A = this chain, B = another copy of it.
Amino acid sequence: MLKGLDEQIASIYAPIRDELRLVEDRLRGLAQTERPYLEPLLDYVMTNGGKRLRPAITLLAADFYDHQPENPRIMASAVELLHVATLIHDDTVDNSDLRRGKPTVSHLYGQHVAVLFGDYVFATSATFVCDTGNVRVIRRFSETIMDLASGQLIEYFSAFDAEQARKLYDERIYRKTASLFQTSAETGAILGGAPERQIQALKTYGHDIGMAFQIMDDLLDVQGSALEMGKPVGNDLLQGVLTLPTIKLLERYPNDNPVLDLFKDKDTETVNQEGKVQQALDMINDSSIIEECYSVIQRYCDTASQALEILPDCAARRSLLDICCYTRKRSH
């Protein structure tokens, strides 16, 4: 299945393959432009094995109308850089040792370097966006950085608080994930010369795909094995972070629930915590909750696809539609 999805990605990216290669060159070229000691760091994070989904969306969203190709390319590089910067800081604050099976920057170089290097990559992404010269795009980009940081802060402040976490769930996953997908599509559309109505359609598409993507991520955390995920399963719950499957579990058993026990006893021994997490994961996997979550993902993919109906039929549109299918099926 994994290989099948890799092939699917290659076929989705076909209309923008050459453009994406230029983006890749630009990202890898960054390592050569700065102080020697930044080189290994930049090199390390730019070869992180990411699928480049966000820059691909930018390039595809730009591919509907006539435009000069340079700006979408710059923007695509910037959204990927921003994503990379976010991962560096997220792994730092979460004390994560591994990301996609590789040691994280904070694990390799320490938190000190990880914080400052993350800042540097954030700023580099912003400088890239300035090269587009488009103030509307630059502004959306800055707002997205605010969303990403405040999304993580919401997650932190509502951790181990079932009521708050439920209330803020949609806003939280919008800010921490969907906002950047939305911006990837919207800015691609703007720089690709799309008319305003089509820009709004692509923005909706990006938002909905982003929401679907995050819920799928949450689902994988309660389903897969540690090996497939490159990180421990049940990680969200261990950190007190409620996701859609655990929210549904709470709704089903509001009074007697291993999640509530876990949140109440969060300061007791680890063994107990892990037992509770496993119990919650088993209950979720033995119920219809997984199916219900897939339905929510499906609904977001449907509305994302529908948003594209007003756009001209072309290879880029077919690829964006295929990304909806891919989002529903991905396993990592």
Which residues of A come within 8 Å of B, CB atoms?
Answer: 34-35, 37-38, 89, 92-93, 111-113, 115-120, 122-124, 126-127, 129-131, 133, 135, 138-139, 142-143, 145-146, 148-150, 152-154, 156-157
Contact = CB atoms under 8 A, between A and B. Distances in A.
A37 B153 CA distance: 9
Given A116-B93, A119-B122, A122-B145, A38 B153 contact: yes
Nearest to A154: B35
Count this chain's copies in the assembly: 2
Contacts of A133: 135
Contacts of A35: 150, 153-154
Contacts of A153: 35, 37-38, 113, 116-117, 120
A111 B35 CA distance: 27
A117 B120 CA distance: 16
Contacts of A149: 116-117, 119-120, 123
Closest 5 CB pairs of A and B: A123-B145, A120-B149, A119-B149, A130-B139, A126-B142
B130 A146 contact: no
Contacts of A131: 139
A35 B146 CA distance: 12
Nearest to A86: B119
A93 B112 contact: yes
A61 to B, nearest CB: 21
B152 A116 contact: yes
Contacts of A38: 150, 153
Contacts of A93: 111-112, 115-116
A156 B92 contact: no
A35 B164 CA distance: 12
B123 A156 contact: no
Nearest to A92: B115
8 contacts: A35-B154, A93-B111, A93-B115, A111-B111, A119-B145, A123-B143, A123-B146, A138-B138
A154 to B, nearest CB: 7
